[in-house]
Amino acid sequence: MLLLECPYCGAKCEETELSPGGEAHIKRYGPGSSDQDFEAYLFMRENPKGVHFERWRHVYGCGKWFHAARCTQSLEVFGTYAAQTFEPPQEIKDKISAKRPGWSWRDFS
């Protein structure tokens, strides 16, 4: 059972205090978007074996959504960060690079 640190309240939370929210950094496409973009927004997901970026909510605690960078294979957590961002903080990307050289995920690497 995972242990993730909520970046808002600093609490180390066990998985039962959290609710998962799927993939992070998804761009919303609304009216006027192409069928292809809209399909990708709603349905297309990475599902990688390795480095992944996810959304979690500290639902039983402070109620805040946050992002987690972790490895889906080893369950190593590279870091958690606020949800109000379009890309992972450089510090976390550096940490992943140190541990998983050559990693890439969508447009990030």
Partner 1 sequence: MSMRLKTGGRLVNRASQVEFNFNGKRLFGHEGDTLASALLANDQMLVGRSFKYHRPRGIVASGAEEPNALMNMGEGAKFEPNQRATTTELFDGLSVGSQNHWPSLEYDIGAVNGLFARFLSAGFYYKMFIHPRPFWKHIYEPFIRQSAGLGKAPTEKDADTYEHLYAFYDVVVIGGGIAGLQAGRTVAASGASVLVMEQTAHWGGRAVVDGGEIGGQSTEDFVNDSLEKLAAMDNVTLKTRMMGAGVYDHGYVLGYERVSDHAPKTTGPRHRLWRIRAGQIITATGAIERPLSFAGNDIPGVMLASAVRDYVVNWGVAVGDRTVVVTNNDDAYRTAIALKQAGLDVPVILDARANGAGSLGDTAREMGIRVENGKAIAKVKGGKRVTGVAICAQAGSGGVLEEIACDAVAMSGGWSPAVHLYSHCGGKLNWDDQAVMFRPDLNRRPTDQNGEGFVTPAGSANGELALSAVLADAIARAKEAVKALGHKAPSTRVPEASEKGENAVEPVWLMPQGAGDKLRMKTWLDFQNDVKVSDVQLAALEGYESVEHTKRYTTLGMATDQGKLSNINGLATLADALNTDIPNVGTTTFRPPYTPISMGAIAGAARDEVFQPLRQTPMQGWHDENGADYEPVGHWRRAYCYRRGSETRAQAVEREILQTRKSLGLLDASTLGKLVVKGPDTGKFLDMMYTNMMSNLAVGKCRYGLMCSENGFLIDDGVVARIDEDTWLCHTTTGGADRIHAHMEEWLQTEWWDWKVYVANMTEQFAQVAVVGPNARKVLEKLGGMDVSKDALKFMQWADGTLGGFKARVYRISFSGELSYEIAVPANEGRAFWDALLEAGAEFDVMPYGTEALHVMRAEKGFIMIGDETDGTVIPQDLNMQWAISKKKEDFLGKRAQQRSHMVSPDRWKLVGLETLDGSVLPDGSYAFAPGTNANGQRKTQGRVTSTYYSPTLGRGIAMGLVHHGPDRMGEVIEFNKVDGSLVKAKIVDQVFYDAEGAKQNV
Partner 2 sequence: MMQKGLSKMSNIQTAMNGARATGYVDVSEAPVTGMITLRGDLADAGVQKAVKSVMGAGVPATLTVTDADAGQILWMSPDELMIVCAYDQADQMVSDLIAALGDTHSMVMNVSDARAVFDLNGSATSEIIAKLAPIDMKSMPAGTVRRTRFAQIPAAFWMTSNDSARIICFRSVGEYMFNQLRNSAQAGFEVGDW
Residues that bind partner 2 (CB under 8 A): 8-11, 14, 16-17, 59-64
Smallest gap from residue 61 Cβ to partner 2 (A) = 5
The site partner of 44 among partner 1, partner 2, none (C-beta below 5 to 8 Å per kind) is none
Of the candidates 76, 67, 83, 68, the one whose C-alpha atom is nearest the C-alpha of residue 100 is: 76
Q: How many Å from the N-terminal Cα to the C-terminal Cα in the chain?
A: 28
The least distance separating partner 2 from the CB of residue 28, rounded to whole angstroms, comes to 23
Contacts with partner 1 by CB under 8 A lie at 1-3, 14, 21, 28-33, 35, 38, 42, 55, 57, 59, 63-65, 71, 74-77, 83-84, 99
The Cβ of residue 96 has, within 10 Å, a number of other Cβ atoms equal to 24
Neighbours of 67 (CB within 10 A): 24
Give the Cα-Cα-Cα angle 43, 96, 81 (nearest 5 degrees): 65
User: Which one, 8 or 29, has the nearer CB to partner 2?
Assistant: 8
SS3 state of residue 91:
helix
Please, which residue, 64 or 100, has the CB nearer to partner 2?
64
